[in-house]
Structure 1
Amino acid sequence: MIEIAVEKRLDGAQGGSWLRVDCRWAAGQRMALFGASGAGKTTLLRILAGLIRPDAGRIVVGGEVWFDSDKNICLPAQARQVGMVFQDYALFPHLSVRGNLEFAQRRKNPGRVDELLALTGLAALACRKPATLSGGQQQRVALARALAAEPRLLLLDEPLSALDPVLREQLQAELLALQQCFALSTVLVSHDLAEVFRLAQQVIRLDAGQVTGMGTPAELFLAQSGGGRFHLAAQVLALRRVDVVDVASLLVGGQIVDVVLDEGEAASLVVGASVTVAAKGFSPLIL
């Protein structure tokens, strides 16, 4: 079981916004943190990693207390057995691919390194330096390095967002296979709804530091209401005036759609806001 109940001021100003999270989920699950920029996703990830100390609360992973403000317990990052993969790879440029993996190990295990090199298709590149690799190859090294530490918790901070769509989809499949192979407890930060649906079993939705929902991707983003209508989560990408009407470009399920707004809706929306779109349900066409 992973339990996190923490509070953290998101800025230093008096009366500033707060991150407040109180959630728990079963070990071995794939969890996604979803929300607009500034919602607190990466801050929560770094709190789990031990890189940011909460102002108050408690974190327990697999029965081990990682943080407890009342008991003044705060395990340092190196004691938490986490693997972390960043968007910018953060590889050691002076080490080979194999050297990056070996450096991450708390106890030397050449067999584990060989296994990960094979699983990620890097065995033939083991002696190469990161600068000689493609972006996709570097991201595979970053993932293999995180797994080389045999983490109890794998933390992924938008690790695939810098890649082109074709390579991103390919690495999503590889990441899912690795997660399933090692039965990893995983926390993924992502803005991509399609990626969340593909990689996550559970989602914590954040808005301005507050948890606004937790459940499966389908429960949060594809909930059906009465009257044959569906409510879909969306994000406002752009607002513009076209002739005499206001139009919003929305990201819905990984697709961009344009929606005509009435006067009240146009006045209340801002770019980056998370919204809910009501769409009429449909019957499948049977041939």
Structure 2
Amino acid sequence: MLKIDIERPMLTSEGKKTLKICSEIADRELLCLFGHSGSGKTTLLRILAGLTTPSKGRIVYNDTVWFDSDRKINLSPQLRNVGYMFQDYALFPNMSVEGNIRFAQKEKDTDAIEELMELFDLIALRKQKPTQLSGGQRQRVALARALAAKPNLLLLDEPLSALDFEMRIALQHEIRKAHLLLNTITILVSHDVNEVCSLASSVMTIKNGRVLSQGNPKEIFSDGYFQNYAQFLGEISALSELFLGQ
């Protein structure tokens, strides 16, 4: 169980906002954070990872307090043991595929590295550098590296956003595989409704730093918020057709 009750000021394109999240996430949940850019999704991931500090609040993972502003507790990212897959994958360009994955291990375990490379079909690419890989291959390396530390929590920040449609569909399977292998909480940021419905067991919609709703994706995406979001997308589509028609 992950319990979150935090606040943090944010500077967005619309001015100053306050991220204020109060939520509980069950074990083995694959939760998607869904909302417009600037709503606070990535800030929340960075707070959970220990890379950004809330102004106040509390974060508790199972029986371990990760952050408590009143008690002056703020565990380092290393002590939280979080696997973080950044939006740009953040692979080390001077390291091979194998080296990138091995770097994340706390204790050397060659067998575990081999298992991960086999699981994500990276054996033939083990000596390649990130610049020699396709987008899909880099994504698989980043996932394998995130799992190498056997993290308590897996955070994925728009992992498929840079890929084309066909590749996104194919690699959703890799994310699902990673989540099942880890057997703990996974939190995924996505703007793609189909992606969310395909992957997530629950979704949290965020707007201007506040949680609008949290629950089953099919239920959440039938409420008023999603209708407004869909209307917004429809207006953009209509404008595109208008200009293309000209």
The normalised TM-score by structure 2 is 0.90
Structure 2 residue 33 is the aligned partner of structure 1 residue 37: no
Query: What percentage of aligned pairs have identical amino acids?
Result: 50
Structure 1 residue runs of 4+, over 6 Å off?
none
Report the secondary structure of 2:5's partner residue: strand
Deviation at 1:237, TM superposition (A): 4.2
Instruction: Tell me which amino acid in the other structure corresponds to 1:124.
Output: A
What does residue 86 of structure 1 align with? 86
Query: Separation in 2 of the partners of 1:26 and 1:184?
Result: 9
Higher relative strand content:
1
What does residue 236 of structure 1 align with? 232
Q: Alpha carbon RMSD of aligned pairs, Å?
A: 2.0
Query: Separation in 2 of the partners of 1:57 and 1:112?
Result: 37
Report the secondary structure of 1:17's partner residue: strand
Structure 2 residue 181 is the aligned partner of structure 1 residue 185: no
- Mapping of 1:62-211 within 5 angstroms? 62-211=62-211
What does residue 18 of structure 2 align with? 18
Is the 1:19–1:40 Cα contact (8 Å) retained in structure 2? yes
Is the 1:202–1:216 Cα contact (8 Å) retained in structure 2? yes
Instruction: Tell me which amino acid in the other structure corresponds to 1:98.
Output: E
Instruction: Tell me which amino acid in the other structure corresponds to 2:34.
Output: F
Higher relative helix content:
2
What does residue 243 of structure 1 align with? none
Query: Separation in 2 of the partners of 1:235 and 1:166?
Result: 25
Report the secondary structure of 1:234's partner residue: helix
In the alignment, structure 2 segments of 5+ residues that lack a partner are 240-246
Report the secondary structure of 1:44's partner residue: helix
Query: Separation in 2 of the partners of 1:104 and 1:73?
Result: 25
Deviation at 1:231, TM superposition (A): 5.3
Instruction: Tell me which amino acid in the other structure corresponds to 1:234.
Output: A
Number of positions where the alignment pairs a residue of Structure 1 with one of Structure 2: 236
In the alignment, structure 1 segments of 5+ residues that lack a partner are 225-229, 239-247, 250-255, 259-287
Report the secondary structure of 2:16's partner residue: coil
Query: Separation in 2 of the partners of 1:10 and 1:235?
Result: 27
Is the 1:176–1:199 Cα contact (8 Å) retained in structure 2? yes
Report the secondary structure of 1:87's partner residue: coil
Instruction: Tell me which amino acid in the other structure corresponds to 1:32.
Output: C
- Give deviations 1:105-135, integer Å, cap 9, x for gaps: 1111111111110010001111111111111
Q: Against the structure 1 CA distance between its residues 132 and 93, is the aligned structure 2 distance closer, same or farther, given a 3 Å change threshold?
A: same
Is the 2:19–2:208 Cα contact (8 Å) retained in structure 1? yes
- Which gives a bigger RCO, structure 1 or 2 (Cα 8 Å, sep 6+)? 2
What does residue 213 of structure 2 align with? 213
The normalised TM-score by structure 1 is 0.78
Is the 2:30–2:202 Cα contact (8 Å) retained in structure 1? yes
Deviation at 1:232, TM superposition (A): 7.3
Report the secondary structure of 2:46's partner residue: helix
What does residue 242 of structure 2 align with? none
Instruction: Tell me which amino acid in the other structure corresponds to 2:135.
Output: G
